[in-house]
Amino acid sequence: MYIRSSTRTSAWVLGLVAVLLLGAALSALALLGERSLPERTGPPIEQLAVERTELTPGVIELTVRNTGPDPVQVAQVFVNDAYVDFAGTTEPIGRLGTDTLRLDYPWRDGQPYLVSMLTSTGLVIEHEIPVAVDTPRADAGFFGLMALLGTYVGIIPVLLGMMFLPLLRRAGGNAVRVLLAVTVGLLAFLVVDGTTEGFELAERTGGAFGGAALVVLGAVLAFLLLTAIDRWVRGRQQPAGGDARSGFGLALMIAVGIGLHNLGEGLAIGAAYAVGELALGTALVIGFALHNTTEGIAVVAPLTATRPSVLRLLALGLIAGAPAILGALLGAAVNNAELSAFLLGIGVGAIIQVIVQIMPTLRERADSVIDPLAIGGLIGGVLIMYLTGLLVAA
Amino acid sequence: MAAGPSRRRFLLGGAVAGSAGLTLGARGLVEAPTTTAGLEHDGAADTTPHGGGVSGPTFRQGSTVDHVANGFHPSKILRDFDYGTVSALPDGRVRRDWEVFASDEDIEVAPGLQFPAWTFNSRIPGPTLRCQEGDLLRVSFTNGSAHPHTMHFHGIHPAAMDGVPDVGLGVIEPGQQVTYEFDAAPFGLHLYHCHVSPLPEHIARGMYGTFIIDPEQGRPPADEMIMVMHGYNTTFDGEGNQLYAVNGIPFHYMHEPVQVKRNELVRIYLVNILEYDPINSFHLHGNFFDYYPTGTRLQPSELTDTVIQGQGQRGICEVRFPYTGKFMFHAHKTEFADLGWMGFFEVVG
């Protein structure tokens, strides 16, 4: 007893000493490093990333962030080769600092604009507005529209897909296995889809917060977190262990994974709407309905052997579909590429976790390899997503 | 960037001290810190803001450059003619001596924007050297810049005085001093600029000025002014300019209109030295002017309100303003106008 406690004490002391030494070494480096190493020989490196563009009649508002190592001062601004009056800070913007520039410029609907920010050193930092459209106001009508959009592309298709449940129950065990394989195929497609979309968005951020690394970070965090939750839930349900999954538990995990994916998808849709790049209308709704109906099938695939209540099914559908509403709202109101990239990454991680969970059920027996039937299902799933994806013009 | 207004003299002093035996004309040192005083004619700045939104281009409202720190003022450059130090030669001719130096300057060419310029006498454009045909001209040139330069005059002179590399005086290295000497001919409106390679950069950095040779009989009395059209390629990419101006600072005469008197003859010595763009132009609102290309004939070539000039082209505009009020003038290449090349005449009764 005595020995153990003394060991613990000495471990604490050792740890403390190590931390103190580290602190002392860092302080010494901070003091000496500056003197022993030369300053950068080149000119200052000035970078600004435009995180948000808001257009109101007669005004272009840019939210910029300094993503470079040196302070940046915007001296003057010209739009399409004409200097403009603007409001904003007169001080340099420090590293990772942000500022909003309000440009007094009579822009016209539907036209392209090139905003050039002239820094105090004469550097020009350009920001392209491909098509100018009035940025939607965040009023009740706008939130209503986003909620409707989220419902169309998220909730309705997923619920429609879940209506295939009775049909799935009629089919035999092999059919369910193939269907689960199709689901994995669908999800694998979503992983690739979400990753590329996340990387594309991350490229636009200027990389101050990691750029593409944000997508990976989101994916890894989501995967680990969901795995931990899954283990915890499983541990409580079956203290004795064993790998037999309750159908509803698996369906719930799939719904959560797809829900997180739809959050990212809604975000992309909302952001596209905010900058006027989204063609709303029947084509979009029908396209997403077909595309996301398959997600509903994925949710109910593990439920063929159980008889969950309608309320529980509805809850599953909302978990998988409703985040699209939240995503659309966030996307249109915040329209922050970094947040979008991170959330898309979370969707990717969540879906990978779901795939990992479904994979064992694709085997005929616990010790067999995946058979050609299941592989056919995988291929079918990927193809379905690819083809229905072509219908979504967003 | 940390250097204050005194930096230019420090640099120049260093260059001069570093080359034994060189002295700099006292004139150059005295002239460098030009003050904004003595603007009685162009007077108080017009405080009414112009532009913004549909009213037109403008720098950020309320922002102006620090003319005192720059060491020159476009309203003063407008009517600043340097006749040199005049003396008589034994044969009765007039001899004129000028001291010109090159130096590297950080100039605030737009509010909040420092441009690393190369200049003649610490200003853009350089001094307006003015003489009469037949005068003997002696221009003492001291290179206080960290870069090699020359002074190349447009006009008629011996090859050795042409101010180009490998001919006559050739390239003037930092710290060197030379004297360009030639007779004033032909009468007209000319210019001078550095002719060291890469030539576009040496010009774009600010090394140019106006060179006027008056005809023997003179020209009719008038309110005379110079307007040098030029630009700043602040990114140094050699593809066009980010700023366009007359006499150094874009949009300057929007805030401080050129003051002229109604019905008085106004003579504008108009020079285009714009680099990177093939043409420039000058357009006057509400009035017409007589145009004398290169100023080498005493008869105008046309009565117009718009002229186009390529780089190195110049001409004299003569106009009487019959109405009082504010009249714009700008490049009728409107892109240049929107990027700074515009101003106002204010006609008073």
Q: Name the residue ranges covered by the structural domains of chain A.
A: 48-129, 140-390
CB contact under 8 A, A118 and B60: no
Per-residue confidence (pLDDT) for residue A329, from 0 to 100 = 86
> Is the model's pLDDT at A333 over the cut of 50?
yes
Cα of B11 to nearest chain A Cα, Å: 20
CB contact under 8 A, B60 and A116: no
Per the rule left: phi > 0, alpha: psi between -120 and 50, beta: everything else, A241 is left
Per the rule left: phi > 0, alpha: psi between -120 and 50, beta: everything else, B279 is beta
Cβ count within 10 A of residue B154? 16
Q: Does A42 touch chain B (CB under 8 A)?
A: no
Query: What domains are defined for chain B?
Result: 7-34+67-214 (2.60.40.420), 53-61+220-348 (2.60.40.420)
Least confident of A32-41, A85-94, A282-291, A357-366: A282-291
Cα of B308 to nearest chain A Cα, Å: 20
Phi first, then psi: what are they for A34, rounded to 5°?
-65, -35
Spatial strand order in the sheet of A113-119: A48-56, A59-66, A98-104, A83-87, A74-79, A113-119, A124-129
User: By a Cβ cutoff of 8 Å, what residues of chain B touch chain A?
Assistant: 1, 51-54, 57-61, 110-115, 232, 234-236, 242, 250-251, 335, 338-340
DSSP string, B41-90: TT-S---S---SGGG---SSTT----HHHHT--HHHHTT-EE--EEEE-T
CATH number assigned to the domain with residue range A48-129, chosen from the 4 options 2.60.40.1890, 3.10.310.10, 2.60.120.260, 2.40.30.40: 2.60.40.1890
**pLDDT band at A361; cut points 50, 70, 90:** confident
> Is the model's pLDDT at A243 over the cut of 50?
no
CB contact under 8 A, B60 and A77: yes
Tell me the average pLDDT of chain A. Answer: 83
What tokens were used for A149? Answer: 């959009």
Per-residue confidence (pLDDT) for residue A346, from 0 to 100 = 85
What tokens were used for A29? Answer: 């480096």
CA trace torsion A181, A184, A189, A194 (10° rounding):
170
C-alpha B333: how far from its chain's center? 20
Residues in Cβ contact with B168 at an 8 Å cutoff, skipping those fewer than 6 apart:
B158, B159, B160, B161, B162
DSSP for residue B149: B
Least confident of A30-34, A191-195, A203-207, B225-229: A203-207
**CA–CA separation, A279 and A276 (whole Å):** 8
> Is the model's pLDDT at A362 over the cut of 60?
yes
More confident residue, B124 or A347: B124
Indicate if ipTM > 0.90.
Answer: no
Stretches where chain B sits below pLDDT 50 are 1-46
Per-residue confidence (pLDDT) for residue A93, from 0 to 100 = 95
| Nearest residue of B to residue A75, measured between CA atoms | B112
What's the whole-model pTM score?
0.79
Per-residue confidence (pLDDT) for residue B104, from 0 to 100 = 97
On chain A, the residues whose CB falls within 8 A of the CB of B232 are 122
